[in-house]
Amino acid sequence: MDLVIILSTLDATIRLSTPLLLACLAGLYSERAGVFDIGLEGKMLAAAFGAAAVAAVTNNVWLGLLAGVGVSLSTSALQGAAAITLKGNQLIAGVAINMLAAGLTTFLGIQWFAQGGRTPALTPDSRFGNMTLPFADELAGVPVLGQIYSELISGHNLLVYIAFLAVPITWFVLYRTRFGLRLRAVGENPKAVDTAGISVIALRYQAVLITGLLCGLAGAFFSIAQGSGFGNNMTAGKGFIALAALIFAKWKPVPAMFTCLLFGFLDALQIRLQNTDIFGVTVPVQAIQALPYILTVVLLAGFIGKAVGPKAGGVAYTKER
């Protein structure tokens, strides 16, 4: 393969990794705080719909983004109410959120826009266009490095850069701030946090809302950045791949980025390898599609390293007994 093909595959990798990365970091906050979240998919889907619907109606990409994040935040609040305040089963709350999002987005979409669940196609004003980074055009002529800069690093939309910026920010928040320390503590030993006079409930709500914010961005990426409009079930299980990536990355931000890039690469490869032979063998695309899930299961089983989640994850905190 020559450089152009490699670059275009990697370029697709970055694009395909972005929603995974946003959703993966989203899940990281929630799960690090001890709230399992299998509702990432639903929050993204709801956000994608909210963003596309508002962007289509107002013709304003920022209002669309705001709506997407708003929808995702309120979904998170609902999930928080169930899983934190009412001490309901966190997993079941996630299932309910996923189903609610799948049903409501299609139902309202058909009702509002009468296009079989699709939102109207967006104009260039109402979606995030690709940005050209400074000097990208000038450097495009420089062999290799210039090409990498102009082809691979430049020319993505805003949300892509936000996603990759969120990695160092998350690392900093998690490991270098008081909030991050408390967040990690509340996922490992909420009793200790409570004893120190810090509210477990408040911390978990904060975490869940950050999850909502990031899922909102991920959802908006689908409908008003990568695509131009919402389509039925457009997140297509990416929320679960993000969940897999989170486990694969052992709930750590930097490994999360590399895992999402790996899973994004597999996705890009799968698109590129449609019906091509490698060494005379046709690799079924389904095998590549299933690879992220298989890898995660293998890791979870402890055959390649060991993924151990936050200790207090999945259990609502009860102050007294």
Partner 1 sequence: MSTLRPLPRWADILLLPIINLALAFIVSGIVVFSIGQNPLAALEAIVGGAFGNGYNFGYTLYYSTNFIFTGLAVAVAAHAGLFNIGGNGQAYIAGLGVILVALPMQFMPWWLTFPVAILAGAAVGGFWAFIPGWLQAKRGSHVVITTIMFNFIAAAIMVYMVVNVLKPDGVMAPESAMIAPEGRMPKLGAFIPWFKNTDVNFTLLLALACLVGVYILIWHTRFGYAMRALGHNPTASNYAGMSNSRIIMIVMTLSGALAGMVAVNQVVGVQYRLVLDYVADAGFVGIAVALMGRNHPVGILFAALLFGALYQGGNELQYVIPGLSKEMVVVIQALVILFTGAMEGMFRPGLQRMFGLFAPAPKPDAPPAVAAKES
Give the residues lining the site for partner 1 (CB under 8 A). 38, 78, 81-83, 85-93, 95-100, 102-104, 106-108, 110-112, 237, 240, 243-244, 247, 284, 286-287, 289-290, 293-294, 296-297, 300-303, 309, 315, 318-321
Beta-carbon contacts of 255 under 8 Å, excluding residues fewer than 6 positions away, are 248, 249
Nearer to partner 1 by C-beta: 13 or 106? 106
Task: Give dist(CA 222, CA 228) in Å, integer.
Answer: 8
Nearer to partner 1, 136 or 315 (CB): 315
CB of 99 to partner 1, least distance (A): 4
Length of the chain (residues): 321
To the nearest whole angstrom, how small is the minimum distance from the Cβ of residue 35 to partner 1?
A: 12
Q: Which is nearer to partner 1, 128 or 263 (CB)?
A: 263
What is d(CA 155, CA 13) in angstroms, rounded to the nearest whole number? 13
Tokens 């062999």 correspond to what residue?
143
Q: Which is nearer to partner 1, 102 or 133 (CB)?
A: 102
Q: How far is the CB of 29 from partner 1 (least distance, A)?
A: 18
Residue bearing tokens 């929050």: 43
Nearest-approach distance from CB 151 to partner 1, in angstroms:
31
**Phi, psi angle pair for 161, to nearest 5°:** -65, -40
Six token digits for residue 203: 């911390």
With CA atoms as reference, report the closest residue to 36 among 48, 47, 25, 28: 28
Give residue 46's identity as a one-letter amino acid code.
Answer: A
Q: Which is nearer to partner 1, 162 or 269 (CB)?
A: 269
Q: Taking the complex as a whole, how short is the minimal distance between the CB of residue 270 and partner 1, in angstroms?
A: 10
Q: How far apart are the C-alpha atoms of 262 and 278, rounded to whole Å?
A: 20
- Picking from 65, 97, 100, the residue whose alpha carbon sits closest to that of residue 80 is 97
Q: How far is the CB of 45 from partner 1 (least distance, A)?
A: 12
Nearest distance, CB of residue 311 and partner 1, angstroms: 13
Exposure class string for 73-100: b at 16+ Cβ within 10 A, else e: bebbebbbebbbeeeebbeebbebbbeb
Q: Which C-beta is closer to partner 1: that of 71 or that of 243? A: 243
In the complex with partner 1, the residue whose CB is nearer, 5 or 114, is 114
Please tell me what DSSP assigns to residue 228: S
